[in-house]
Amino acid sequence: MSTELDVFVGNTTVLDEDVYQLWLDGHTVSDAVRIRMEAGALQECEANAEILHSDTMDQFRTFQMCERLLQSPSKVANQLLFQIPPHHQTMLIERYYEFDSVFAREVLGKKLSKGTKKDLDDISSKTGIALKCCRRQFDNFKHVFKVVEELKGPLVENIQRHFLLSDVLARDYAAIVFFANSRFETGKRKLQYLSFQDFAFCAGQLISYWTVGAVDNMMEDLNVDLEKEFLHDLKDLKVLVNDKDMLDQHKSLVCAQLRGKIKVFSEMEASFKNLSRALVNIASKLTHTKDFRDLFIDLVEKFVEPCRSDKWTIGDLRLFLKHYSSSVRMLEAFRHQVIWDRYMGVIQSCILKMYHD
Amino acid sequence: MPGKLKAKIVAGRHLPVMDRASDLTDAFVEVKFGNTTFKTDVYPKSLNPQWNSEWFKFEVDDEDLQDEPLQITVLDHDTYSANDAIGKVYIDIDPLLCSEAATVISGWLPIYDTIHGIRGEINVLVKVDLFNDLNRFRQSSCGVKFFCTTSIPRCYRAIMVHGFVEELVVNEDPEYQWIDRIRTPRASNEARQRLIFLMSGELQRKIGLKVLEMGGNAVVGYLQCFDLEGESGLVVRAIGTACTLEKISSTLLATATHPSNSSPSKDMKEPGFGEEAPGVPLSSGPPTPLRAQTFSSFSPSKSYSRQSSSSDTELSLTPKTVGHLCHFCMIPPSPFCVFQEYPFFTLTAFPPGFLLHVGGVVSARSVKLLDRIHNPDEPETRDAWWEEIRQEIKSHAKALGCHAVVGYSESTSICEEVCILSASGTAAILSSRFMQDGPLDTEHRLSRQPLCVFSTGSERVEGDMGSSASQQGVFFLLISAPFVCDSLKCCSTHPSIIHFTPFSFFLCYFLFSLSLCCVVVCMYLSAGFVTACAHISMCVCSCLSVFVSECLSIYVCVCVCACVCVRSCVCVYVCPAPSVDYSSFADRCSSWIEQLKLKAHTIRRGSVKTTSSMEKASPLPEGRSRSLRSNRSYSGSSVAVVKMTPLSFIPGAKIIKYLGIINMFFIRETTSLREEGGVSGFLHTFIAEVFAMVRAHVAALGGNAVVSYSMKECVFMENPNKNQAQCLINVSGDAVMFVRESELESTSVQTQSATAHTSNGAEGT
């Protein structure tokens, strides 16, 4: 019996970015060869299909061997097994940790556990991303989560330091870790229109302003938990809707500011109390885990959807939120200005990000 | 007590997890040299231990320093059961014994296990204090420099070339000892690895002694081979060219290559052949086998006395009483004597004017049966075998009217009980001006014309060739054809030796005609002189790499040996010949490499590839023995990378220091072949690991490149049913330190140096 033996090993590891991408995308060797041939690799290299096949094989094998190293990227630079030029090292790591936002959207908010891993074939068939590729991305999420879970200090920096990722990618990972940790509900049908980037933006806002680390970055443990004290203080905001005078005063202040400036003025005037009540209620209930997880669904159901049915434009909404949040300052009886600003700052930008079709 | 070896274990990193419960390791290190062992403290619960040990001092004889490797074993401490070995590092301390080479070994070295491969790295510091020993009867040869490079190393000047040295050491193969039945594969692999380290140390020491006796101080073109004969033993043998070298300042290099070069004779240089050469390629008839290779009897020939007049042809067999019994073939020292017992040179590049005339390829082959050795543990039998071969080579050379053989090499190929020994080289006439005494001028009948000779095996066709083909431009310079038994496996039953020889001739002929084809092609392209060097590499290579130089200075083909070749085929390197303008050769080479870099995937496997017609010719089971090649890789980055090249120089860079020879032997075995990605996956990993270890050792010596790198002697055995495979690889090369040539040197120097590389390109097989 003769087995095929065909290996090419270089002193400096030869890598082809396109082949790497094919490998990352979870193609089999024969698929990859076909794709490369269609891309005209044969003409470019004056090679034949056989050479291309063994070349692809070799590269796939190399990547497979590198995979172990890529799981702890800090080792890539000082390992001795592969002599890889530095710019290639960065490329290898960055590409390995890149993910499809469609996939990330599916996994967002789910527990990064074995159970979810079993659902990957569903996600794979839904998104059209190869199962192998889904697994890699999922394992990366899980791996990053596990590593940063035990670290102190700012989340994004930790990810960057340990995984040597670019700033953008590290921020995306921070969002994933944050969602996995807080387990926000993102799967409801009403939330389907939101993309990963929308959520990542909101996560960034929440991390920057509401978490423990936002106040004190020397705290122990994962600092992506929201600050308990702050959530508790949010209950005080209830006065804004419970106190009738204050509500009326708030409404008239906002109306005075917006008169003639927005198209949907009458609708706004009519629904002001409902909208205000919705936002304040969301704030006051955030201490309960269940309500907290429903933050996004609540925002959509109670705020985004009413506005959308009244056909507010994004400009109208921006203006409204600006004055809605700022005119509170003029309410003399209101004493929770700091809490309010901290709350509304985040809510305002989240809503604006989420307000699209 | 002429030497003190000091070792310090600094730290480890990336160690494997040995304790599943804690996911950590309690590592400690054993440092062993000879029979002395030291241990470090256990560094508990860490994958990155910091031992920072004291200096372990070994007071030893310099003889042991040469023979023994420093053995570092990393273990995991276990309170209840035996300590588990993580892996080992063998450090050859030979480079430290020579004052001009490295002074310290310091750096991260991969910890290697024969079953698991590389398992983490260890940081060590090794130094040697050597006391001068002027004992005349000493058994050590510290200070003799060894070079794999087959030309005079670039920062040295040859004061004297003493001639051919050879040595051979035999031992029982641990793999075939009775104890192997009861010990673990790991233990047996380690015993084997250690033994081979010991044997090559011993061999090097003995060669060194010979060199000292001849009055030399260095061995150039050192070629060491392992013959795994199986039951009958394990042979380590080496050949080389003894020289007296002197370090020079590198700028003078080109002009000072030889003292008598003060009057360079243009007409005698190799390019002289080229001028009249754009002729039609040779179309010679196929040579026919004239006689069998095996000599039934052999008499040390006094008949060559004319050529060996100035030297003593007596073989003095002097078994020495050092450890293993050994056999010395004494070659009496005489100044620049070509006319020794064997006027062979393993060098392939010579100072201009040194080669007066080149006769053609000579090669000899002989088939032996290993189970017929009477006393397998003694080296005499093998010595006698090689004697025969060398004598035959000598007689071939003589028949071609040449008195010397250059580019000489020897190889064997073993399959079960059959062993084929082969030797080849290029017959040449050396300029008498370089001889101490030049009695030969009158004897050269052939000194008139560049001659085209085509010789395989024992056939000599020089008679008609000399007359009919002398005007034509094909010129085979060095053809090495180490044969594979594998292809002959089908007929390897003992009585069939008779069939054997014709078959090998067939192969030989095939090979020659193939290279001839290439030459024809090249002729059209280059209209110049072409030197072809064909190389059947164990019948298992997959690439045809061609260096073609065009007059238009377009290099048609790439791949500077870019292949770990595995499929059956023929590997042909056609090299640009002397007539092509060489002044820019080095430049082109590097611009070439730039191109290669840009199209990295293009170089892979070379752009010109022949169909593997050998596959049809030899229905051999793939993957038995293979010759593996490294590729030359060039990265443009300025990071501290270690380059490896089979060439003896680095394009665009100047070698400033030779740090010592790298000669390592690795065994890798797996019992989970499928899981590791089959045969290819297993070998891929192994080769990557071997590269990593070579790089690490070179870096530890303070070098940044390996030149004359070669990966040879690869035995590969697999058993897919048992999910097992085993592979043995030997790598060698010269560790060097180089600096990039920031500014171009003067053209003259470059021309000279480039010319010196003429044959080096061909040598890169």
Do the Cβ atoms of B720 and A1 come within 8 Å? yes
Answer whether residue B175 shows pLDDT above 90.
no
pTM metric for this prediction: 0.72
Q: What is the pLDDT of residues B123-140, one digit of tens each?
A: 999 998 877 655 555 667
Q: Is B631 within 8 Å of A8 when comparing Cβ atoms?
A: yes
Same structural domain, A64 and A158: no
B231-263: b (≥16 Cβ within 10 Å) or e? ebbbbbbbbbbbbbbeeeebeebbebbbeebee
**Can you tell me the mean pLDDT for A202-215?**
79
| Nearest chain A residue (CA) to B721 | A1
Contact A145, A177 (CB under 8 A): yes
Domains in chain A, number:
3
Q: Which residue has the tokens 């995308």?
A: A25
Q: Please indicate, yes or no, whether residues A244 and A348 belong to a single structural domain of this protein.
A: yes
Residue found by looking up tokens 């086998």 in the block? B289
Q: Cβ contacts (< 8 Å) between B122 and chain A: which residues? A: none
Which residue from A11, A16, A62 is facing B633, i.e. has the nearest CB?
Answer: A11
In this prediction, residue A110 has a pLDDT band, given cuts at 50, 70 and 90, of confident
A109 with A199, same domain: the answer is: yes
Report the run of H or E that residue A295 belongs to, with start and end: helix A295-298
Establish if A74 belongs to a structural domain.
Answer: yes
Same domain, A234 and A340: yes
- For residue A218, what pLDDT is reported? 53
A83–B695 C-beta distance less than 8 A: yes
Looking at B132, B156, B178, which one is the last position of a domain? B132
Residue B273 has pLDDT above 70, yes or no: no
The rounded percent of chain B whose pLDDT value lies above 90 is 10
Question: Among B72, B104, B132, where does a domain finish?
Answer: B132
Is the confidence at residue B702, as pLDDT, over 70? yes
Distance (Å, whole) CA B734 – CA B731: 10
The answer to the question of residue B477 being in a domain is: no
The mean pLDDT of B451-476, rounded to a whole number, is 30
- DSSP of A148-206: HHT--S-HHHHHHHHH---HHHHHHHHHHHHHHHHT----SGGGTT--HHHHHHHHHHH
Whether the predicted pLDDT of B759 surpasses 60? no
Residue B344 has pLDDT above 90, yes or no: no
B619 vs A: CB within 8 A? no
Which residue would you say has higher pLDDT here, A220 or B651? B651
ipTM over 0.90: no
Torsion sign over Cα B369, B375, B378, B381: negative
Check residues B515 and A253 and name the one with the higher pLDDT.
A253
What are B545-601's pLDDT values in tens digits?
222 222 222 222 222 222 222 222 222 222 222 222 222 333 333 333 333 333 333
The parent domain of residue B416 ranges over 355-372+379-434
Residue-range definition of the domain harbouring residue A148: 101-210
Q: Which residue has the higher pLDDT, B452 or B428?
A: B428
In a domain, B37, yes or no: yes
Same domain, yes or no: A200 and A244: no
Task: Give residue B109's pLDDT.
Answer: 93
**Residues A200, A186: contact at Cβ < 8 Å?**
no
Domain boundary among A143, A175, A210: A210
pLDDT at B505: 41
Is B247 among the domain residues?
no
Is there a single domain that holds both residue A204 and residue A239?
no
DSSP B258-316: SGGGGS--GGGSTHHHHTT--SPPP-PPPP---S-S--SS----STTTTTTTTS-----
**pLDDT interval class at A237 (50, 70, 90):** confident
Task: Please list, residue by residue across B744-758, b when 16 or more beta carbons sit within 10 angstroms of its beta carbon and e when fewer do.
Answer: ebeeebbbbbbbbbb
Helix (H, G, I), strand (E, B) or coil at B232: coil
For residue B305, give every residue at least 6 positions away whose Cβ sits within 8 Å of its Cβ, in sequence order, or none: B313
Residue B718: closest C-alpha in chain A? A3
The verdict on A205 and A110 lying in the same domain is yes
Confidence of residue A325 (pLDDT cuts 50, 70, 90): confident
User: Do B604 and A6 count as a contact with CB atoms less than 8 A apart?
Assistant: no
For tokens 């594998």, what's the residue? B486
Q: Is A55 among the domain residues?
A: yes
pLDDT > 60? residue B100? yes
| Closest residue, chain B, to A85 (C-alpha) | B637
What CATH number did the domain enclosing B364 receive? 3.30.110.70
Task: Kindly identify which residue of chain A lies nearest to residue B620, measuring between CA atoms.
Answer: A2
Would A222 be classed as within a structural domain?
Answer: no
Task: Tell which residue, B164, B413, B170, B458, has the closest CA to residue B295.
Answer: B458
Q: What pLDDT is recorded for position A191? A: 86
Q: Could you report the per-residue pLDDT of B365-382, keeping only the tens digit for each?
A: 787 777 777 776 778 888
CB contacts, 8 Å: A49 with chain B: none
* Residue B684 touches chain A, beta carbons under 8 Å: yes
Q: Residue B490 — pLDDT band, cuts 50, 70, 90?
A: very low
In B118-184, alpha helices (H): none
Per-residue pLDDT, A311: 86
The predicted structure's pLDDT at residue A93:
92
Provide the pLDDT for residue B614. 26
Indicate whether A278 and A164 sit together in one domain. Answer: no
Residues A69 and A117 grouped into a single domain: no
Residues A319 and A279 occupy one common structural domain: yes
Provide mean pLDDT across the span B68-90. 89
Which residue from B554, B682, B556 is spatially nearest to B628, judged by alpha carbons? Answer: B682
Confidence of residue B707 (pLDDT cuts 50, 70, 90): confident
The residue ranking higher by pLDDT, B705 or B594, is B705
Reduced 3-state DSSP string for B30-61:
EEEECCEEEECCCECCCCCCECCCCCEEEEEC
Q: Does some domain include residue A130?
A: yes
Residue B135's pLDDT is 57
Amino acid identity, residue B427?
Answer: A
Residue A215 domain-assigned?
no
Average pLDDT taken over every residue of chain B:
62
Domain count for chain B, please give it: 2
A350 and A233 within one domain: yes
Query: Smallest Cβ distance to A3: which of B562, B636, B720?
Result: B720
Q: Is the pLDDT of residue A178 over 70?
A: yes
pLDDT at B150 over 50: yes
Q: How far apart are CA B519 and CA B5, in angstroms?
A: 54
- For B199-219, give the secondary structure using H, E and C: HHHHHHHHHHHHHHHHCCCEE
Beta bridge partners of B644: B706
Which of B101, B132, B163 corresponds to the end of one domain?
B132
| Res. B465 pLDDT band, cuts 50 70 90 | very low
Predicted pLDDT at B420: 80
**Please, are residues B654 and B156 in contact by the beta-carbon 8 Å criterion?**
no
pLDDT per residue as tens digits for the range A277-298: 888 888 888 888 888 888 888 8
Q: How confident is the model at residue A214 (pLDDT cuts 50, 70, 90)?
A: low
Q: Kindly state whether residue A76 falls inside one of the protein's structural domains.
A: yes
Would you call B678 an interface residue with chain A, using a CB distance cutoff of 8 Å? yes
Q: What is the mean pLDDT of residues B616-630?
A: 28
At B416 the three-state DSSP class reads coil
Which of B605, B639, B642 would best serve as a mutation to test chain A binding (most A beta carbons within 10 A)?
B605
pLDDT level of residue A219 (50, 70, 90 thresholds) = low
Terminal Cα-to-Cα distance of chain A (whole angstroms): 62
Residues B189-223: pLDDT tens digits?
Answer: 888 888 988 998 899 988 988 888 888 888 988 98
- Do A296 and A258 share a structural domain? yes
CB pairs under 8 A between A and B: 136
Indicate yes or no: CB of B623 within 8 angstroms of CB of A3.
Answer: yes
Quote the tokens at residue B689.
């690991």
Top pLDDT among A213 and A135 is at A135
pLDDT band at B434 (very low <50, low <70, confident <90, very high): low
Mutate to test the interface with A, among B14, B622, B635, B726 (most CBs of A within 10 A): B635
